[in-house]
Amino acid sequence: MTDQLSESNSDKPSRPKGVRRARVIRRLRGYFLAGVLVTMPLAVTFAVARWFILFVDSKIVPLIPEAWNPDTYLRDHVGFEIGLPGLGVVVLIIAITVIGALTAGFVGRFVIKTGETILARMPVIRSVYSAIKQILETILQQQSQAFRQAVLVEYPRRGVWAIGFITGETEGEVQSLTKEEVLNVFLPTTPNPTSGFLLFLPREDLVVLDMSVEEAVKMVISGGIVTPPDRRSGAEKSQPVVSARTYEELDILREKEGGTRLVSGMAPKS
C-alpha cells in the first residue's frame, strides 16, 4: 500500500513538467514560424535583387570604357577597387532614359520607323516584335486602364468560380458576332499570373469584386493563402449575389433571368 502511494506521489510532479515542456516546445515552434514569416520574404527579395544586380552588372560593366569606370578612379587615386554594386543598373537606367529622350525627336522617330520597317519584313521576328510592343504599350501607357477591375467569373464550369480581370470592352468581329455586350476578361493562372486565358464574357455574367486589383493579384499568386479583408457593409455581406449550386431547377431559373447573378445591379462599370 505504501509502495502504491509512493509511486502515485512520484508520478504527480512529472505531469506538470511534461505539460510545461509541451508548452515550451509549442511556444518555441510558434516563435520559429513567426521568424520564418518575417525572414523568408526578406531573404527571397534580397536574393532576387542581388541576382538581378549581379546579372545586369556582368553584362553592362564590361561595356563601360575604362576611363569612365569609377573603379578606375579609385584604383588610380585610392589604390584599390571595390567593384561598385549596381553600377550596371544605374548605367542601364540612364541609357534607357537617353534613348527615350532621343526617340521623342524627329531624328529618333525616323530611326525607329526605319527599324520597324526592316523588322516588318522578317517573317518570325515581326510577329514577336509587334506582340511585345503592343503588350508593353498597353501596360506602360500613362492613360492605360489595363486590369481595370477584379471580377468573379464562373469558370471552367457552372458552380465553379474564378477571379478574372477586365482588360477592356470587346470590339471588332468578336463583339459584332455576339448578341450580348461582352467584355475582355483575362483569367490568370496560379501561381504565375502572367499566363492565363482571354475570355469574352457578357457584362451581366460578371460579378464585380470590391477588392482592388492589387489585392486580387496577391490572392491569385498565393493560391488563396493571402485573402484580402471584406470591406463591405454588414448588409451587403449578408446578401448573397451569386449561387454555386448547379441543380437543374436553379439552372433553368438562371437561364430565364439571363445570367448567373441572384441580385441585380452588380454589372461592371462601363
Q: For the chain, which residues make up each domain, given as ranges? A: 22-104, 111-144, 149-257
Would you place residue 263 in the very low, low, confident or very high pLDDT band (cuts 50, 70, 90)?
Answer: very low
Model confidence band, residue 164 (pLDDT cutoffs 50, 70, 90): very high
Overall average pLDDT of the 92-113 stretch: 83
Look up residue 155 and give its DSSP letter.
Answer: -
pLDDT band at 259 (very low <50, low <70, confident <90, very high): low
Q: How far apart are CA 76 and CA 71, in angstroms?
A: 9
Look up residue 122 and give its three cell numbers. 522578317
Structure-model confidence comparison of residues 105 and 164, the more confident one: 164
User: What is the DSSP code string of 159-209?
Assistant: T-EEEEEEEEE--HHHHHH-SS-EEEEEEE-SS-TTSEEEEEEEGGG-EE-
Residue (of 181, 182, 183, 186) closest to 198 by Cα position: 186
| pLDDT reported for residue 142 | 47
Output 144 or 135, whichever has higher pLDDT: 135
pLDDT at position 238, please? Answer: 81
Q: What is the mean pLDDT of the chain?
A: 78
Residue 178 has pLDDT above 80, yes or no: yes
| Cβ-Cβ contacts under 8 Å for 96 (sequence gap 6 or more) | none
pTM above 0.75, yes or no: no
Between 255 and 8, name the one with better pLDDT. 255
- Is pLDDT of 248 > 70? no
Q: What is the pLDDT of residue 225?
A: 84
What pLDDT is recorded for position 143? 47
Confidence category of residue 75, pLDDT binned at 50, 70, 90: confident
Alpha-carbon span 46 to 52, nearest angstrom: 10
Q: Whose CA is closest to 209, among 146, 148, 147, 149?
A: 149
**Confidence label for 168 from pLDDT (cuts 50, 70 and 90):** confident
- pLDDT surpassing 70 at residue 269: no
